[in-house]
Amino acid sequence: MSTARFSRFGFILAAVGSAVGLGNIWKFPYVTGEYGGGAFVLVYLLTALFIGVFILIAELLIGKLGQSDAVSMFENLAVKKKNIWKYAGFIAIVPLIILSYYSVVIGWIFHYIAISFQSLPSTVEESKNIFMSLLTSDLQTQLMYHTVVFVLVTSIILKGIKDGIEKINKILMPLLALILTILFVYSISVDSFSKAASFMFNADFTKLSSEAVIVAIGQAFYTLSLGMGIIITYAASLPKKVNIVKSSLLIAVIDTLVALVAGLIIFTLLFDKGAESTKGAGLVFISLPSVFYEFGSIGSTLAILFFVAIAFAGITSAISMLEPMVSYFVNRFNYSRVKAALICSIFFYVLGIAALLSNITDYSPMLMVGDKNLFDWLDFVSSTILVPLGGILVVVFVGHFMDKEKINAELIPLLGTAFTKIWFFMVRYIIPMALIIVILNETGLFKF
């Protein structure tokens, strides 16, 4: 393992930078809108605390005790079935797959920063036409920005833990916080802010279905970057005396706070102009640009700040997605960091090109399987199946296959004996079942 380590502050920023991504600023608001507002938010907050934090502690334990790459740590820490558990570490390839299409989306965000400096669409229809043109026919623009993301992320990873990941997070995360603060302060001055706050925090449990509870569990899990080997890999470079329980709580609180602030900002702007919170790309790239236009002269400034904030969140998450496999090649095969980074970066870059081509009208038929193109399949399989499956592997491994005495030695001084037993019970039984239910519901194999 590299001797380079995060500072405690640097680790928190890197972990938060990994967690705070497009899921906070774009997915959280639209699923909140779709599943009834305040009641959904309450369930999300509870699951982020009782499921998210518990898994965070489990992942930090693996990293702190394993001190290697994600693949090797499972093998080295297993007290039985070592030959089987070494394969669990390959959850580290999942974020690399996600990064292939995530990079394309960050490229779209860069494009919209440029649009915000020029001329915002004046209607939803015009906004839709601009986005669909980019998505289905503008190969050159998408390829250019995808390449920019590839170069940017690779150059940061090449610099390593201290000079690359930690340094960029110390720059981008405070800037992200500043921009969100500016947008939040502005949104408070808008008449619809009270309506947005009421929608998000007044819990109407008549609107809360069993499916909404399951979606809230999944959202809390996804938004913390769990089940992908990212936190495990970062934790291997933790300062030795870091309190992993406090760190887990701090990461979860900051990540959740960003999601709530982003939700308040977005709903305030949407409600003020009578717009709707649509799914996925439609919210950020279709609904909001035309809403920003309706705010008049300040609209372009709001748009620039908003898209820059998402770009910062996207870049810090993208860096974290690349690191687990880079760490694996460096530690397992003794590759130089340059060689490992280039192998991983070229992989996500080439797969990303295929993903963006699958949205282009002329190439889409060749990259279509069933009812989904390659871009949609990558998103569906990774986020719906592989990521929660990675979470299940983590908690089953920690709960049943790691040395219990070592775990107790780490946790009892921090949690006490009673809370450590509760944590073990949750990790062994409750959380695996919750994540299995999420997979079954999201894949449509069984609707609850």
Cβ of 279: how many Cβ atoms within 10 Å?
12
Over its length of 448 residues, how does the chain's per-residue pLDDT go in tens digits? 445 778 888 888 898 888 887 777 777 887 887 787 888 899 888 888 888 999 999 999 999 999 888 888 998 999 988 888 988 888 889 999 999 999 999 999 999 999 999 999 999 899 999 999 999 999 999 999 999 999 999 999 999 988 899 999 999 999 999 999 999 999 999 999 999 999 889 887 887 888 888 888 888 887 888 889 999 999 998 887 889 999 999 999 998 999 899 989 998 998 998 877 666 667 788 889 999 999 988 999 999 999 999 999 999 999 999 999 999 999 989 999 999 999 999 999 999 999 999 999 999 999 999 999 999 999 989 988 999 999 999 999 999 999 999 999 999 999 999 999 999 999 999 999 999 998 998 888 776 6
Query: Does residue 362 fall inside a structural domain?
Result: yes
Distance between CA atoms of residues 101 and 432, nearest Å: 28
Residues 6+ apart with CB under 8 A from 363: 357
Query: Does residue 345 fall inside a structural domain?
Result: yes
Q: Are 318 and 105 contacting, i.e. CB atoms less than 8 angstroms apart? A: no
Residue in the block written with tokens 């900002």: 265
Query: Does residue 448 fall inside a structural domain?
Result: no
Q: Are 351 and 73 contacting, i.e. CB atoms less than 8 angstroms apart? A: no
Tally of CA atoms within 13 A in the half-sphere of 123 that contains its CB? 3
Query: Does residue 166 fall inside a structural domain?
Result: yes
Range of the domain at 132: 8-443
**Which stretches of 119-226 are DSSP H helices?**
124-136, 139-158, 160, 167-188, 193-201, 210-223
pTM attached to this predicted model:
0.92
Residues 6+ apart with CB under 8 A from 370: none
Q: What are 15's two structure tokens?
A: 């972990």
- Tally the domains of the chain: 1
Phi, psi (deg, nearest 5) at residue 4? -65, 135
Query: Does residue 1 fall inside a structural domain?
Result: no
List C-alpha distances in Å: 295 to 47, 120, 186, 272, 302: 36, 11, 12, 9, 9
DSSP code for 354: H
Q: Are 285 and 131 contacting, i.e. CB atoms less than 8 angstroms apart? A: yes
Residues 6+ apart with CB under 8 A from 78: 85, 86, 397, 401, 402
Query: Does residue 386 fall inside a structural domain?
Result: yes
Query: Does residue 2 fall inside a structural domain?
Result: no
Query: Does residue 343 fall inside a structural domain?
Result: yes
Q: Are 306 and 283 contacting, i.e. CB atoms less than 8 angstroms apart? A: no
Q: Are 292 and 116 contacting, i.e. CB atoms less than 8 angstroms apart? A: yes
Number of H helices, E strands in the chain: 25, 2
CATH assignment at residue 65: 1.10.4160
Distance between CA atoms of residues 276 and 356, nearest Å: 27
Classify the phi-psi angles of 119: left when phi > 0, otherwise alpha if psi is within -120 to 50, otherwise beta: beta
